[in-house]
Amino acid sequence: MAKSATFNREIISRAVGDSFVKLNPRVMIRNPVMFVVEIGFVITLLLTFDPNLFGGHYPATQRAYNLIVTIVLLVTVLFGNFAEAIAEGRGKAQAESLRKTKTDLWAKRRTANGGYETVPATTLRKGDVVQVAAGETIPADGEVMEGLGSVDESAITGESAPVIRGAGGDFSSVTGGTKLLSDELMIQVTVDPGESFLDKMISLVEGASRQKTPNEIALSVLLAGLTLIFLIVVDTLEPFAHYVHGSRSIDVATLIALLVCLIPTTIGALLSAIGIAGMDRVIRFNVIAKSGKAVEAAGDINTLILDKTGTITIGNRLATEFIPVGSHTEQSLIEVAVLSSLFDETPEGRSVVELGKHKGVAYARENYHEANNVEFSADTRMSGLDLANGQVVRKGAVDAIRQYVRQHGGTIPDDLEPKTNRIAKEGGTPLAVIQDHEVYGLIYLKDIVKPGMRERFAELRKMGIKTVMCTGDNPLTAATIAEEAGVDEFIAEAKPEDKMRLIRTEQEDGKLVAMSGDGTNDAPALAQADVGLAMNTGTSAAKEAGNMVDLDSDPTKLIEVVAIGKQLLITRGAITTFSIANDVAKYFAIIPAMFMAVLPNLKALNIMFLTSPQSAILSALIFNAIIIPLLIPLAMKGVKYRPMSATSMLMRNIFIYGVGGVIAPFIGIKAIDLIITALGLAHV
């Protein structure tokens, strides 16, 4: 997917417009905290026209004060709307570019009599068969029935290198909107209009299908509860003040100002922006999450199931050691081995040359161009060179070599068998090396763990996530790789049912399980897992079953998704804490100010030495508004997440957002008060 700039001019100007559109009360009511602010705005607006609307004999100057409160309240609401709009803005821009790929597509649909008719792509139904020629855009999601061709999927993945798609196997699914570059494909459509991957992606990035996640709802409930408490606190203040001082009381605009300062507007304004930005982060990571719930669940994962091959290991067996047999030295073995692999283009062959070079043995290909390269065949199970001088060098499966040597009257060294067994036991693959019919030794081929995996698993352990490796290998091999990669557990000789069983048992223990997969036989497990990450290269059954699709088809991405899920929750928690902690300072600003006429003694509580009651109240209110846009970048980027123990992370975040949240407004309110005083507005 095209990476868009975080804040470009176009997105910002549209967001500003949207901030006003969102003032519509029917939209606002979905956010109870900010809705209260909007109601406050309406009331103070009325009080600006008639300061005595609710009784009292306020002088005309009260109007100016009410007006300022009104403006600040409006700005507060607008800031909140702006935060949401800007979070949505990026998605909207992406959706538009995706929509462009979708429009005006035509398809060649096979008719009942075997002919083809050209129809608009939007009329295609599940089960239709279409023909796509090179250079055409694939009209709908489907499975390749016939043909093999390279497909440019950059419209979806942003990756410009074409991928191969063909009938049968795990590479048969194609996505509507991608372009066929070569050959011709017959595709069976697998979705009805409006349900395609592209449609889902568009609605996802636009936030149209964004449902509140369970944690978000729970937090909204708590915030609404706090708002109610503060509503009670502020509503009862007027009677209290009236009791203390029968004639004078607190004016309504000030009470509304206090209410708005106390209710958690900071988190209320940023809550939906945090959610949208979190999903957006996942998308920009080239992972399509089908729901926000899936992303949150990722943050809660207890167990992570990963396939060995291609996920934990590179997937190719590479040479790691040369083991001479009989009377041969390692040096002579290496020479023969490298020679046998000189023109071998397989990863194994190249790794032999590579390892030889590392050990100081290198041959130039040019010197052997007259040699005859014998490629590996399933028949002989060996490969090598027939040199110009008549010498024969081969490497191959040990039993095949053994048979070859015997046939040619050679002898098998005694230590070949035990050394072969040792390699097999350790989980490696032995290759025997011969020159003519003399066995020189063994090449130790090993499944190599991807670099950095060990560290990543250590990180996961720190997050409290258990990793389980699934492999078809025998238990010995599996144990070796598991040990090397540092996974917590492994399942050897695993069948798809084993994965399913593992997921079930873990879930019965109350754990949340994540897994990645791409094959059709992974589909049930992907559906059963709490987080199922399907590879984009996988079958459509797998993609349908998982609740996330990785466009880059990198199974280790689960680790990043876990971090994003956690970050999402942390950001919400941190800003909530900050928001509530802010109230302490606001009380010290507003309470002495609002009681100035009623209980002058309370000026002792004016520990910030704010210039005047009006300035104190406005400073707190302005601070309350300004903090929203200041925190938009944090809401969008998310609080930094580093794997560490839960307790130390709690203390760290409490210190930054809790203690910081208590201190920051003291400084901010005082600073605003100084500015208001300097502008001569302290006594409006």
Partner 1 sequence: MTVQGSLQILVVLAILLAIGIPVGGYLYRVSTGQRSKLEGVFAPFERLLYRLVGVNPSVEMDWKAYLKALLLVNLVMMLFVYLVFRLMGHLPLNPDHLPSMSWDLAFNTAASFVTNTNWQNYAGEASMTYLGQMIAITFLQFTSGATGFVAAIAFVRGFINNRRSSLGNFWVDIIRLHVRVLIPFALVFAVALVGLGLPETLQGAQIAHTLQGALQTISRGPVASLEAIKQLGTNGGGFFNANSAHPFEDPTALTTVLEIIAMGLFPTALIFTFGKFMRNRKLAIMLYSFLIAMVIAGVFVVYGSEAAGNPILHHLLGITGANMEGKEVRFGLPLTSLFVGTTTAYTTGAVNAMHDSLTPMGGLIPIVFMMFNLVFGGKGAGLLNILMFLIITVFLSGLMVGRTPEIFGKKIEVREIKLATTAMLVHPFLILVLTAIAVTTKTGIASMNNTYLHGFSEVLYAFTSGAANNGSAFAGLNGNTPFYNVSIGLDMLLGRYVSIIAMFAIAGSLAMKAVIPESSGTLKTDTFSFGFVFVAVVVIVGALTFFPALVVGPIGEQIQMWSGQLSP
Binders of partner 1 among 283-312, rule CB under 8 A? 296, 299-300, 302
Residue 528, SS3 per DSSP: helix
Nearer to partner 1, 100 or 640 (CB): 640
Q: Which stretch binds partner 1 (CB under 8 A): 19-27, 43-51, 418-426, 455-463?
A: 455-463
279 binding partner 1? (CB under 8 A): no
Angle at 273 between CA 268 and CA 278, to 5 degrees: 125
Q: Which of 172, 173, 177, 141 is nearest to 158 (CA)?
A: 177
> Measuring CA to CA, how many Å separate 553 from each of 1, 140, 214, 393, 657?
14, 20, 28, 39, 37
Measure the CA–CA gap between 536 and 163, rounded to whole angstroms: 11
Q: In this structure, how many other beta carbons lie within 10 angstroms of the beta carbon of residue 346?
A: 14
217 binding partner 1? (CB under 8 A): yes
587 binding partner 1? (CB under 8 A): yes
Residue 405, SS3 per DSSP: helix
Nearest distance from residue 32's CB to partner 1, in Å?
Answer: 12
464 binding partner 1? (CB under 8 A): yes
Measure the CA–CA gap between 572 and 635, rounded to whole angstroms: 8
Give the footprint of partner 1 on residues 605-624 (CB under 8 A).
605
458 binding partner 1? (CB under 8 A): no
| Residue from 480, 520, 577, 614 in contact with partner 1 (CB under 8 A) | 577
Q: Which stretch binds partner 1 (CB under 8 A): 210-218, 352-360, 608-616, 617-625?
A: 210-218
On the 0-12 / 13-18 / 19+ scale of CB atoms within 10 A, 232 is: exposed
Q: List the beta bridge partners of residue 373.
A: 385
Contacts with partner 1, 637-656, as mask; x by CB under 8 A? ----x---xxx-xxx-xx--
Query: Residue 307 catalytic?
Result: yes
Contact 35, 28 (CB under 8 A): yes
Nearer to partner 1, 276 or 545 (CB): 276
Contacts with partner 1, 374-413, as mask; x by CB under 8 A? ----------------------------------------
In a 13 Å sphere around the CA of 264, the CA atoms on its Cβ side amount to 28
Q: Which stretch binds partner 1 (CB under 8 A): 345-353, 581-589, 618-626, 672-680?
A: 581-589
Contact 661, 577 (CB under 8 A): yes
- Angle subtended by helix axes 214-244 and 252-262, to nearest 10: 150
266 binding partner 1? (CB under 8 A): no
| Residue from 214, 362, 417, 504 in contact with partner 1 (CB under 8 A) | 214
Please state the φ and ψ torsions of residue 188, each to the nearest 5 degrees: -95, 125
| Residue from 2, 134, 232, 667 in contact with partner 1 (CB under 8 A) | 232
Measure the CA–CA gap between 313 and 302, rounded to whole angstroms: 22
Give the footprint of partner 1 on residues 657-676 (CB under 8 A).
657-658
Nearer to partner 1, 260 or 481 (CB): 260
Nearest distance from residue 281's CB to partner 1, in Å?
Answer: 14
Contacts with partner 1, 61-100, as mask; x by CB under 8 A? ----------------------------------------
Using CA atoms of 271, 275, 277, 279 in order, give the dihedral in degrees to the nearest 10. 180
| Residue from 153, 447, 583, 673 in contact with partner 1 (CB under 8 A) | 583
Nearer to partner 1, 551 or 570 (CB): 570
Query: What is the b/e burial string over 151-168, where b = at least 16 CB atoms within 10 angstroms of the residue's CB?
Result: bbbbbbbebeebbebbbe
> Measuring CA to CA, how many Å separate 374 from each of 287, 294, 342, 386, 440?
44, 52, 11, 7, 19
| Residue from 463, 487, 561, 620 in contact with partner 1 (CB under 8 A) | 463
Q: In this structure, how many other beta carbons lie within 10 angstroms of the beta carbon of residue 478?
A: 23
Nearer to partner 1, 11 or 37 (CB): 37
Measure the CA–CA gap between 618 and 673, rounded to whole angstroms: 8
| Residue from 599, 663, 674, 684 in contact with partner 1 (CB under 8 A) | 599
Measure the CA–CA gap between 625 and 220, rounded to whole angstroms: 20
41 binding partner 1? (CB under 8 A): no
Size of the site for partner 1 (CB under 8 A): 72
| Residue from 219, 434, 559, 682 in contact with partner 1 (CB under 8 A) | 219
Measure the CA–CA gap between 561 and 292, rounded to whole angstroms: 12
Nearest distance from residue 494's CB to partner 1, in Å?
Answer: 23
251 binding partner 1? (CB under 8 A): no
Measure the CA–CA gap between 383 and 587, rounded to whole angstroms: 82
Nearest distance from residue 230's CB to partner 1, in Å?
Answer: 8
Q: Which stretch binds partner 1 (CB under 8 A): 63-71, 162-170, 231-239, 514-522?
A: 231-239
Measure the CA–CA gap between 653 and 596, rounded to whole angstroms: 37
Alpha helices in 442-495 (DSSP H): 453-462, 475-485
Nearest distance from residue 551's CB to partner 1, in Å?
Answer: 25
Nearest distance from residue 478's CB to partner 1, in Å?
Answer: 23
Nearest distance from residue 574's CB to partner 1, in Å?
Answer: 6
Nearest distance from residue 216's CB to partner 1, in Å?
Answer: 10
536 binding partner 1? (CB under 8 A): no
Q: Which of 128, 280, 300, 307 is catalytic?
A: 307
Radius of gyration over alpha carbons of the chain, in Å? 34
Q: Which sequence positions are flagged as catalytic? A: 307
